[in-house]
Chains A and B, each alone.
Chain A
Amino acid sequence: MDILVLVKHVPDTETRVKVAPGGTSLDLGEANFVVSPYDEYAVEAALQLKEKQGSATITVLTVGTDEAVKSIRQALAMGADKGVLCGDPSFEGSDAGGTARILAAAIKKAPFDIIFCGKHGVGDDNQQVGSLVAALLGIPAVTVVTSIDYSEAGLVRCHREVEGGVEVVKTPLPCVITCQKGLNEPRYPSLKGIMAAKKKEVVNYKAADLGIDPAQAGKAGAAFEIKGYELPPPRPEGRMLGGEVADQVNELLRLLHDEAKVI
């Protein structure tokens, strides 16, 4: 069985964001880059499926710069088998559509049975790439998945989170599954895993290897032009309520009802 995992290399969630001078890019300071948190669920889902299957090959794919190999190695250390870095100067600044076109081209180079990715990539917060890749490959996607049942051959039955409930979705393989918190508990790499990961193969695909027209990727291929970034407006100064608890509560209700008019 060939299992694919799409992993994005992102600034960790502690990162404080500033707007860079000029206003058209963000200053992430000394941000520490990691595997996007939801993609850890995707890697874990792949590892658990491989364990169930007995034998399978897990390939991790990333669109990013050479730096992003760090996240590929992290997934390899968790237990994935091979890495693919889609890294080309013309890919930088790709939007979700461009990233999906690159990933789909890389995926088409080899057979696959199932593709796991994250529900969304932290930072850009697009929640698009998994669905777009599926559409480009002409296969179904099940998004925001919190459980997967493999008990029937050739198909999967997933729980996906919707407002106020859970949809049970049945889909034939191959398909894309976008992983949500709750699906599993991602394992930590063992020391042995970290050592082994250093020796695992990571191939690098350039635009030409994938037949990607530079006009279809990077900023040139993006559907929208980023005009600028801003920080959220500061919230108005708050008010601390003093006195005994009964007074605090009465004052709070008065403020919520009469001043803010929200209850």
Chain B
Amino acid sequence: MKTLVFVEQRDGKVKKASLEALSVGRALCDATSGALAAVVLGQGVSAIAEVAGKYGAETMYIGDDAIFAAYSTDSYGLGVGKAAQVFGADVLLFSATAMGKDLAPRVAARLEIGLLSDVTSYAVENGGATYRRPVYSGKAYAAAAPKAGKSYAVTLRPNVFAATESPRPHQVIKLENAVAASDVKAVVESLLASKEGLLDVAEADIIVSGGRGMKGPENYKILEDLAKPLGGAVGASRAAVDAGWIGHEHQVGQTGKVVSPTLYIACGISGAIQHLAGMSTSKVIVAINKDPEAPIFKLATYGIVGDLFDVVPKMTEAVKALKARG
């Protein structure tokens, strides 16, 4: 299978999710005697060829051009579409990041191929791949296989697949004049960064999340205090978001973000079905709740029945002490 991976970068830095996608691409190609290529778009991004080569790409399509300096669906859609055509890709892999989810359907429509969203595992048998993806926010999983002989695209859920180095000698092919300025209708005028120093839940390995048990917006500080030394992000239940205590970008759940961090710490969250749908694939779940009957405990790896206002600050102290010991 000729597999093309879209490598996402911001400010010249490759996203971890793209390294995961390259590793999946490498494994797919190894299992099917396929060839792996990567495409990167941006300005001043030529050095990224090395990174992609380290993670298994044999061919790098590089669009290093002012028109790719900021992401736009139109320009990136044309750029990736062009690389796919030049390479003759059978399979296109994207990460299911904000950019990947916006871009992949545009490219799939241009190439008139199918797209499978948010894949979390795959298996190769007789030269063909079957993919698994969550439906109903992870209440169930569907196994889907591309119809024979058809090219297709897939987005891969971040944080699920390992990024493994597998260096390959690689050739670089420049994508020239893939896009004209007149092709770009929707333009990104600016990027407003959210509150400084706080990681996005979608990208965090560790999430400290608070629900209605937080009692008010002022108390999210104690979650930030725990998240900081852990290098984590702050999440929330919908109850807390709807109360206006914290922005909706922090909401975890079926109508918020679906996350699978290595550690999810749920504080004052009861564990409603819609919340669980967003975090039940976390590797380790810690629940802190004063109600021993709270459904969240059914899912928790470790549970503490107690008052979060007592437990969380003590955890913060203990984490700081642990980090200080190194």
Residue of B102, B114, B139 near A95 (CB, 8 A) is B114
User: Chain A residue with minimal CB distance to B189?
Assistant: A168
A51 at the binding interface (Cβ < 8 Å): no
A123 touches B135 (CB 8 A): yes
Q: Which residue numbers of B lie inside 8 Å of A, CB to CB?
A: 71-74, 77, 97-99, 101-102, 104-106, 108-110, 113-118, 130-132, 134-147, 150, 152, 185-194, 199-200, 202-203, 206, 230, 247-249, 251, 254-256, 262-263, 273-274, 277, 280-281, 283-286, 297-306, 310-311, 314-315, 318-319, 322
B186 touches A140 (CB 8 A): yes
Name the interface size band of chain A: 35 or more
Residues of A within 8 A of B248 (CB): 146, 181-182
At the interface, is chain A mostly helix, strand, loop or mixed?
mixed
A101–B262 Cα gap in the complex (Å)? 39
A232–B301 Cα gap in the complex (Å)? 16
A132 at the binding interface (Cβ < 8 Å): yes
Residue of A125, A136, A225, A238 near B144 (CB, 8 A) is A225
Measured CB to CB, the closest approach of chain A to B135, in angstroms, equals: 6
Q: Could you list some 5 contacts between A and B, CB below 8 A? A: A13-B273, A122-B255, A131-B102, A181-B248, A223-B152
B106 touches A227 (CB 8 A): no
The segment from A42-50, A64-72, A74-82, A240-248 found at the interface with B is A240-248
A141 at the binding interface (Cβ < 8 Å): yes
B105 touches A248 (CB 8 A): no
B302 touches A164 (CB 8 A): no
Q: How many A-B residue pairs have CB under 8 A?
A: 256
B113 touches A169 (CB 8 A): no
- With known contacts A19-B140, A132-B109, A249-B314, A127–B101 Cβ distance under 8 A: yes
A128–B110 Cα gap in the complex (Å)? 13
Residues of A within 8 A of B131 (CB): 224
Q: Which residue numbers of A lie inside 8 Å of B, CB to CB?
A: 11, 13-17, 19, 26, 37-38, 95-97, 100, 122-128, 131-132, 134-136, 139-144, 146, 157, 159-172, 175, 181-182, 222-232, 235-236, 238-241, 245-246, 248-250, 252-253, 255-257, 260, 262-263
- With known contacts A128-B115, A131-B105, A252-B315, A166–B194 Cβ distance under 8 A: yes
B117 touches A249 (CB 8 A): no
Residues of A within 8 A of B262 (CB): 262
- With known contacts A223-B147, A256-B263, A172–B118 Cβ distance under 8 A: no
User: Chain A residue with minimal CB distance to B249?
Assistant: A161
Measured CB to CB, the closest approach of chain A to B313, in angstroms, equals: 10
A260–B206 Cα gap in the complex (Å)? 13
A248–B290 Cα gap in the complex (Å)? 13
Residues of B within 8 A of A142 (CB): 186
A246–B311 Cα gap in the complex (Å)? 8
Among A13, A16, A26, A170, residue most surrounded by chain B Cβ atoms (within 10 Å): A13
- With known contacts A122-B254, A165-B193, A262-B263, A252–B304 Cβ distance under 8 A: yes
User: Chain A residue with minimal CB distance to B323?
Assistant: A263
A257–B262 Cα gap in the complex (Å)? 12
Residues of A within 8 A of B113 (CB): 223
A157–B188 Cα gap in the complex (Å)? 9
